[in-house]
Chain A
Amino acid sequence: MKIYNNYVITVASLLLLTTVVLAAIGANSLDVYYTFYVVEALIVTELYVYFKSRARRSLTIVSAVLFAGFMVIVLSVALKVLV
């Protein structure tokens, strides 16, 4: 399953690189890290259009969970601004 391995290595490398870069520039908010992680994971998943449909369905569930976490961050920031 070479395409699975390529996908996993790509996502893992991006997440690790993001952590290193954001830590190096002194990012001090967990929201920023998480937002970058979610956006990267969603983009890479979309780029792998040639996954079979079953794999895509499984990854869609993971993407939905990640996106839900992202929405929680957005809502909490919005609430802070409003209150």
Chain B
Amino acid sequence: MQENRDRVRTDRNTYIWTGLGLLIVGVILVLVSVLILSSLVWLTALGIATLIMAFILLALARTIPRVTPEVSMLLLETGIDNIATIVEELGIRSKPIYLPSSLTGGRPQALIPLHSNPSLPKITGALPRRFIVRYGAGPDDVGLLVTTAGTVAAGMLESTPAPSPVPLESALTSLFVGRLGAADGIRVYAIEPGLRVEIRAPRIQGVDTWTHQCLDSSLASVVASIAAEAWNKPFVVAKEEQRGRTYTVEIEAVE
């Protein structure tokens, strides 16, 4: 952990020291231009441009995340591996159903039915906030209600997107590109019978991880959870694959 703390300081210092360096260079350029070179306009302007960059860097330095991506990945993988181990040990073959917060009584979570069923379960009322929950009247209607990466990611959004591909694309771009720095771009397409989300140059591992055999990938879980919140309906991940530098996730609403 000490090494990670040092890395955080290093990342912040890169912006702070660059900003301070540019501040000094900018002041020197302006002073040299005005006092020694009889106000050489382009050199004074270059000094002002350097000062503007210094202010921008110092402003951004205050907002660098305190936790490095490596620490985040460490915590994420630990949590997901533990859940995947439980799912594997219980012999569960069902895929997670991503529920909106209105059906979980708080925040969006994923329900993993203990028994495979050809038809997806229909959940009408809010489930109790427990790990093992009963979601229907049948004797086999029992499942695990787990927290996923999507649960936390949905909480990072400033507002819930409207139930349409464009607002969803905007929300996912804001999250993956702006907030998490986990991808270069997002595209959302309406397809029959759901949505296809293309994540360009993702920096989180996708389909090749061991946990993917038991659960959906972190990228897919974030996409499905945000969509579940937007449409206020349960969603499932129908398909996910890596094509070159683009990771494609297809999701469907559970009617």
Contacts and interface: CB of A to CB of B under 8 A. Distances in A.
A30 B63 contact: no
A50 B174 contact: yes
B60 A59 contact: yes
A12 to B, nearest CB: 6
| Interface SS of chain A | helix
A27 B45 CA distance: 11
A8 B63 CA distance: 14
Contacts, number: 88
Nearest to B203: A2
Interface residues of A, number: 36
A82 B177 CA distance: 49
Interface of A: 1-4, 7-8, 11-12, 15-16, 18-19, 22-23, 27-30, 33-34, 37, 41, 48-55, 58-59, 61-62, 65-66
22 contacts: A2-B184, A11-B53, A15-B49, A15-B53, A19-B42, A19-B46, A19-B49, A23-B42, A27-B41, A33-B41, A33-B42, A37-B49, A41-B52, A49-B174, A50-B174, A52-B178, A55-B59, A55-B60, A58-B59, A59-B56, A62-B55, A62-B56
